[in-house]
Chains A and B, each alone.
Chain A
Amino acid sequence: MKKNIVFMTAVKVPGKESRAAPYKYGIDSFKKWCDKRNHRLVVLEDPIFDASIMKPNFYRYFCFDLLENQGIEYDKILLTDADAIIHPDCPDFFELSDEKLSVTHTDGSYDWTVRSMENYAYELFDGKTFDIWKYFNAGFIVLNKSHRDLLKSFTNFYLENQEKIRFVQEKYKTGTDQPLINHFVHNTFNLPVNIMPYRFCMADLSNKNLLTDDLLYTNIKGIYQFNAIPNNVNDKLTYYWMEKTYKDLYEF
């Protein structure tokens, strides 16, 4: 029976175990949210490429093949990360998303976002940019079968241009998959997108003045992304906030 799928990447990268330590909280929160709504959580924990070829950030774009290879039937799919916690009463974004690609705008540091778009445009897309107000966070992408060609073309593009892509990643440090998938959606495929509210990908909590000890952000029932935390040495603060948030929302 077809279900909506939350497809989560939670691959542990050797040498970066501390980053993966709090994934258990993200996974469990989504599991509970999905169970309550009869959706299915699929967690990708094992590498599908050697790290020298592809970073785990790109694995999600193989979701159609990975699901079908496991015999999993699907309707809509959310691509997300394991360093996020979903509020148990977060509205059902599958119901709110239409047939278009549904995403949230990246509204954090525009210095990073603009450079991310412009640098990749300059190096890989003949300088062609796109509407910056459509730049979306790759940590929240709702798609469906009609986007199979997009992802196939995208992963092929990566494999055919991987050396250049890795060069750009290292030279500018303005993102990995996110700027590329944005260029693919807005330039290469020129797809219409459904921009959903910030609550569905609450990145940059600190800059939004939400990362407070009383967990102010949980007043907004959404998906909390524990990134861009100041002074986050060895991802210790990511663990701290994810554990604290999970316990507050799910272990009361």
Chain B
Amino acid sequence: MKKLIYMVNIDDSGSSIKHSDYSGYAVETWKYWCNKHNVELIINTDKDNRLGKPVWHKELIFEYGKDFDKIGIVDDDTMIKWDAPDIFESVNTFAGVVDTSDYNWILNSINVYKKFFPDLNINVDNYLNAGVLFFDKKYLSLFEEVLKFYFKNKTELDNWNKGGGKEQTILNYHIIKNNIPIQILNPGWNLVSMHKKDMFKYNWQLNIDQIPHFIKYGYIWHFTGFDPKHREDLMKQTWHSTKHLYK
């Protein structure tokens, strides 16, 4: 079985935060994990001039992934724990973690993008965070469809100012549209908004160790959901406190 992890790592010229400032920490962890589990890692650093924001390069997975059986897409602000098991062994359909971190944002996002999908309804019970996804190759065409959708609505999407993020909700609408069976992973496979969930703390009552909860219990740490200016520091600290375990 050929397995792939695909990560887009392209700086956004329109953003004051450079991906390259923090993505190196993410890449180091994924390199280690992929090597350990015989998974190919493709890091896309090539800006495709047909595409606006770097996030749309994720849809190119339908080309990069065509020679693989199982595929994962991960954001470049994610780090995987050194001893996380091979998730591909348990993925059969289209797997991800339900986003429960900020329903105000989620409900608004579903609402503002509904104009493109008036006949579809997203059930929040199955609304996936698009930052970490694992799936069988038969679902690659989903991303081709999303890319076509992007091209069809490029001007509007490139100038979108109604909030609700970029491609995550659009992807979720396409999941519904195509009736794709969802496999829900436990939150440990995509820990978002870790600050809101008090995951940077440790068990200060027993004080047996000082390992933060996210490191002790999570598999994929997703440094998002907070002010991005803190991202580089948090990823750097995490890397420096754990890098000896990636050997």
In the assembled complex, the CB of B124 is this many whole angstroms from the nearest CB of chain A, namely 6
Considering the chains assembled together, what is the distance between the CA atoms of A199 and B100 in angstroms?
10
Closest to A200 in B: B125
- Interchain CA distance A105-B188 in the complex, whole Å: 12
Nearest Cβ distance between residue B107 and chain A, in whole angstroms? 6
B201 within 8 A of partner (CB): yes
**Nearest CB of A to B191, in Å:** 9
Are A109 and B124 neighbours in the complex by a CB distance under 8 Å?
no
State which of A114, A207, A216 has its C-beta within 8 Å of the C-beta of B213: A114
Chain A minimum-CB-distance residue to B219: A133
Whether the Cβ atoms of A208 and B100 lie closer than 8 Å is yes
Does the CB pair A118–B198 fall under 8 Å?
Answer: no
Whether A107 sits at the interface, judged by CB under 8 Å, is: yes
Q: In the complex, what residues of B have CB within 8 A of residue A112's CB?
A: 198
How many A residues have CB within 8 A of the partner chain? Answer: 31
Residues of B close to A219: CB separation below 8 A: 107
Q: Please name the residue on chain A nearest to B101 by beta carbon.
A: A208
| B203 adjacent to A107 (CB under 8 Å) | no
Which size bracket describes the interface of B in this complex? 20 to 34
Per a CB cutoff under 8 Å, which of A172, A209, A216, A220 touches B205?
A172
Q: List residues 196-252 of chain A with CB under 8 A from any CB of chain B.
A: 197-199, 207-210, 212, 216-217, 219-220
Whether B105 pairs with A209 at a CB distance below 8 angstroms is yes
Q: Give the CA-CA distance A212 to B107 in the complex, in Å.
A: 13
Chain A, interface SS category: helix
Q: Return chain A residues, CB-CB under 8 Å to B196.
A: 207
Write 5 A-B pairs (CB below 8 A) sorted by A numbering.
Answer: A110-B197, A111-B198, A114-B203, A115-B206, A119-B203
Q: Is A122 an interface residue (CB 8 A)?
A: yes
Q: Write out the residue numbers on chain A whose beta carbons fall within 8 Å of the beta carbon of B201.
A: 111
**Partner-A contacts on B (CB < 8 A):** 98, 100-105, 107, 124-125, 186-188, 196-199, 201, 203-206, 208, 213-214, 216-217
Please report A residues at the B interface, Cβ cutoff 8 Å: 105, 107-112, 114-115, 118-119, 122, 131-134, 172, 174, 195, 197-199, 207-210, 212, 216-217, 219-220
B166 to chain A, nearest CB (A): 20
Q: By CB atoms of chain A within 10 A, which of B103, B187, B188, B205 has the most? A: B103
Q: Which of B199, B213, B216 has the most CB of A within 10 A?
A: B213
Quick one: given A207-B196, A216-B104, are A197 and B125 in contact (CB under 8 Å)?
yes
Separation of A107 and B213 alpha carbons in the complex (Å): 13
Q: How far is the CA of A149 from the CA of B125 in the complex (A)?
A: 32
User: How far is B135's CA from A90's CA once the two chains are assembled, in angstroms?
Assistant: 31
* CB-based contact A208/B197 at 8 Å: no
Q: Are B100 and A198 in contact (CB under 8 A)?
A: yes
| Nearest-neighbor residue (CB-CB) of A111 within chain B | B198
Is B100 a contact of A119 with CB atoms below 8 Å? no
CB distance from A109 to the nearest CB of B (A): 4
Q: Determine the distance from Cα of A172 to Cα of B204 in the docked complex, in whole angstroms.
A: 11
Bound Cα distance from A107 to B193, whole angstroms = 11
Known: A115-B204, A119-B206, A132-B217. 11 other contacts (CB 8 A): A105-B187, A108-B197, A111-B198, A112-B198, A114-B217, A132-B188, A174-B205, A208-B102, A208-B103, A209-B105, A216-B104
Cα–Cα distance between A195 and B198 once the two chains are bound (Å): 22
Inside 8 A of A198's CB, which chain B residues have their CB? 98, 100, 125
